[in-house]
Structure 1
Amino acid sequence: MKKKNLLIAAAGIAAIYCGGIFFFHNHFLPNTYIAGTNIGLSSSASAEKTLGIQSSASELEIDGDKTTDVLYGTDIDLRYDDNGLLGSILAEQKTYTWPLSFVQKQMYEASVTYNEEKLNENMSQMDCLTSKELTPSEDARIEYTGGTYSVVEEKYGDVPDKDKLKAEIIEAIKSGSKQMTIDCYIKPSITSSSPEITEAMAKINSILNETITLTSPYTSYTLTKDDITSCIKYEDGTVEIDEDGVYLLASSIADTFNTVGKEKEVTTVGCGTFTISGGIYGYEVDIDKEAEQLAADILAGKDTERNPVYSQEETYDFNGGLGNTYIDVSIDEQKVWLVYAGEEILETDCVTGLPTEGRHTPTGIYWIEWKTTDYQMTTFNAYVNFWMPIDSTTGVGLHDASWRSRFGGSIYQSDGSHGCINLPYSAAQTIYNYAFGTMPVVVH
């Protein structure tokens, strides 16, 4: 009897199993899901109807950090599009394993259609993209505050990337999700550890820690950190020269190192020690070229000691620039001394300019600009044998004056020149022979 019962039970189980195989030839296995909808045990037609109803009536909750939006299937004309999926699942499902499907899920994404324009329109009104409470991400940056450069850390915001959000929404719809959490916030493109920041800060620190010293025979100046800071700027991830700042610094350096026209103490063989100002002789900084050199020195980030970039320099770096080779012109004494390598070569009488406006001989330190013989002074229709200009802007120079028979004394007060230093022929010849371009000439 017991054996008979076992046979009956086995036959029943076999019948059920075989019936299941037959049934699942045109019905979906249990736990078959499309887009989150269970179509198990349904026929193809029934499943298609169910999916159509579910898709049109679906809703998706979209959760952000500060916002919650709901997208309804009807808002975007969401429709299930079989596209052969149901038939493919039926054809491929293993009917002989149907008992296992009660404990195993088969998940499929749905093929759906939707109105792209309506989806875009709905997204444009979502709080997760439009709320005033949203905070954009901020890149890390370098700022100059309180006399120093420092890194301002990046900030992570809660504004989604619209294109990525759209892709996430479409994926959620296809998978049949009822809820999704936004995971596509726009991140800072530059962080405090980005090369743009770390390399720039390393460059800035290198620049600010360098020592740049300018020297001349009269003074020296070491750039301060404030000087250097005023010459640099950080833009678009790079350390650059602030052209306005470096030009202002070069101008300040020129004020410090220029000696043209400034008061100097000199000592001459003929007149001893005295102070003198004026003239065109001396150091003069070329501001444009000095600015270029400063920019290069600063960006180099290393210690530098050099002279300023001059447009003109003094011939000698001692005795106020006169050195020990010069021409000394005394207006009061109406004398000229020629000194070469510390030795007095010549002392001679002269006639300087008439002491009136427009004809007086200007005082200061000048230099022989050039020299020539047999020169026609067109302004005064006068011919000279030896011409040595000391200031082309005023036309003043040293020359012989064959039209004069006497020199020195007080002649200049009533019959002075138009500003030039008139010399006897032999004296002019001697001075001419010793004179060279940039030879200092002090007039006092």
Structure 2
Amino acid sequence: MKKKPIIIGAAAVLLVAAGYFGAGSYYEDKFLPNTMLDGIDISNDTVAQAKEETTAAIAQTQIQIVENGETIYAFTAAELGVSIDNTEKLETMKAEQSGWNWPILLFQDKQEETDLSGVAVDETALADILAAMPLENETRTAPVNATVVKGTEGYEISPETAGNKVDLELLKATMLEAIIAGETEIDLTEAYQQPTLTADDPILTETVKKLDDLTDTVIQYTISGQTETVPKTAIVEWLGIDENGEVSVNREGVAAYLQGLSDTYSTYSRTRDFLATDGETVQVPSGTYGWTLAVAAETDNLIEYVLAGEDVTVTPNYNGTGYHADGADIGTTYVEVDLSSQHMWYYKDGAVALETDIVSGHPQTPTPTGVFYIWNKEEDAVLKGYNPKTEKDYESPVEYWMPVDWTGIGIHDSSWQPAYGGEYWLTAGSNGCVNTPPGVMAELYGMIGIGVPVVIHS
């Protein structure tokens, strides 16, 4: 009587075993139930069948591009020329669900997506589809980054603007992702170009604070005995931020400000009122003497001062000669040549150290008037040039030569001159130089240094 239950139990075990091994054998080369790839059911498919089924299903998927609730374009994966190589993905999925574990996995959902690296499109078809969409037109605007602007009470942040210009590379990636995910709609706004700097960026907050601090910087220039303070309003106007949100200084604005200072204080190219030895005040045109601010070099310096944010008092860089910190121009040490009286004086610290009659340029080759300076000294020089009076070139050896301009005019001895002063220059005048008696010239040469101003007037 007890043998019947035993026989039934053994039969049940055999039946279950047969079912387990039978199903295991069946799923050895097939996917288990509830297996999905890219939203497509591949249950009970072999790898080859799953590849064919997923490829065909994806190819027929239609996707709509929607903007502001309206469909602006629709296409299928086939029209896009999509090709999918998901063999490796399918083989990996199959290997991960062993057929002999089917009872455990039977009631578990298995959902996977194809890696985009296995997806390719026809670039020509893609370009044609993108060209057919209304993506490039005058109504689309690019996003605008948040920035720092000058407000009524200092600097403030102006928020970013979204815009509706499309990021084509992002749209391409979104299209491929939609195809793989089995989505049928793409919101074009998700492919809009995005601002790279937003109002909540800490860089901008720090920039506002830094700008406010920089505008309180006191920068002073001492120029020729005068003090010029760079206006706070100018600094505010120059300061800004670059495309990376960093503090910047407007170079053109700085250069214009410095050029204004140069125009105010520089002495080069300036006509001067000069108190001559005879007591008369004469106007003397510009010559080689004088200075200007070195605007280009000083622009770099001033930008550094502004960005450093530290109070500073400096003397600006300058070009030329004759700069005096006390504001003097010609000063008290100079040479005066009076063409009308044919006389020359050398003043040393305000007192006459030497004077002499001279012979200036012939009426055909007059000595130029102006404020010049001795820029070189040379002994035993040979002066060469063209004499328009004789219409011949000349070579004149001199013992002492001190040029004062860039055209060959200078002061030198002239052993060939029999007399000096008076009206001798009308007939025996030089080619423009100041002819000086040899003995006097030797004395002057030993007394005078390079850089001394030479005022020539009539």
What is the TM-score normalised by the length of structure 1?
A: 0.65
**Aligned equivalent of 1:419:** 432
In the alignment, is the contact (CA less than 8 A) between 1:328 and 1:337 conserved in 2? yes
Which ranges of structure 1 fall in alignment gaps of 5 or more residues? 1-10
User: What's the CA shift for 1:307?
Assistant: 3.8
CA–CA distance in structure 1, aligned partners of residues 428 and 123 of structure 2? 102
CA–CA distance in structure 1, aligned partners of residues 236 and 365 of structure 2? 46
**Counterpart among 298, 302, 317 of residue 297 in structure 1:** 302
**Aligned equivalent of 1:5:** none
**Aligned equivalent of 1:371:** 377
CA–CA distance in structure 1, aligned partners of residues 395 and 132 of structure 2? 92
Summarize deviations over 1:159-195 as a string: whole Å, max 9, x none. Answer: 472453245234424xxx7778789636536223568
**Aligned equivalent of 2:129:** 125
CA–CA distance in structure 2, aligned partners of residues 402 and 78 of structure 1? 103
Distance change >3 Å, CA 231–CA 281, structure 1 → 2: farther
Summarize deviations over 1:83-142 as a string: whole Å, max 9, x none. Answer: 6959957542217x98xx5xxx53444889x99557994796389975569967636265
Q: Which amino acid aligns with 1:358?
A: T
Summarize deviations over 1:33-76 as a string: whole Å, max 9, x none. Answer: 53567799xx779xx79x95996497466575545576668876
**Aligned equivalent of 2:102:** 93
- SS, match of residue 331 in structure 2: coil
Superposition map of 1:264-283 within 5 A: 264-267=272-275, 270-272=277-279, 274-283=281-290
Summarize deviations over 1:389-426 as a string: whole Å, max 9, x none. Answer: 32341423243555324x33344445444433333444
CA–CA distance in structure 2, aligned partners of residues 326 and 296 of structure 1? 33
User: What's the CA shift for 1:240?
Assistant: 7.3
In the alignment, is the contact (CA less than 8 A) between 1:265 and 1:275 conserved in 2? yes
In the alignment, is the contact (CA less than 8 A) between 1:172 and 1:180 conserved in 2? no
Distance change >3 Å, CA 362–CA 79, structure 1 → 2: closer
CA–CA distance in structure 1, aligned partners of residues 402 and 331 of structure 2? 20
The yes-or-no answer on 1:138 pairing with 2:143 is yes
Distance change >3 Å, CA 123–CA 395, structure 1 → 2: closer
Q: Which amino acid aligns with 1:422?
A: N
**Counterpart among 191, 194, 217 of residue 224 in structure 2:** 217
CA–CA distance in structure 1, aligned partners of residues 368 and 284 of structure 2? 11
The yes-or-no answer on 1:165 pairing with 2:174 is yes
The yes-or-no answer on 1:339 pairing with 2:347 is yes
Q: Aligned pair count?
A: 414
Distance change >3 Å, CA 343–CA 37, structure 1 → 2: closer
CA–CA distance in structure 1, aligned partners of residues 431 and 41 of structure 2? 116
**Aligned equivalent of 1:312:** 320
What is the TM-score normalised by the length of structure 2?
A: 0.63
**Aligned equivalent of 2:109:** 106
RMSD: 5.7
User: What's the CA shift for 1:323?
Assistant: 1.8
Distance change >3 Å, CA 241–CA 19, structure 1 → 2: same
**Aligned equivalent of 2:5:** none
User: What's the CA shift for 1:363?
Assistant: 1.9
Q: Which amino acid aligns with 2:101?
A: E
Superposition map of 1:184-263 within 5 A: 185=191, 188=194, 190-192=196-198, 213-217=220-224, 234=242, 254-263=262-271
Distance change >3 Å, CA 171–CA 318, structure 1 → 2: closer
Q: Which amino acid aligns with 1:106?
A: D
Bigger mean CA offset, 159-168 vs 229-238? 229-238
Summarize deviations over 1:221-256 as a string: whole Å, max 9, x none. Answer: 666666996899946777778887777776665544
Which ranges of structure 2 fall in alignment gaps of 5 or more residues? 1-7, 386-393
**Counterpart among 286, 291, 301 of residue 284 in structure 1:** 291
**Aligned equivalent of 1:399:** 413
Distance change >3 Å, CA 21–CA 316, structure 1 → 2: same
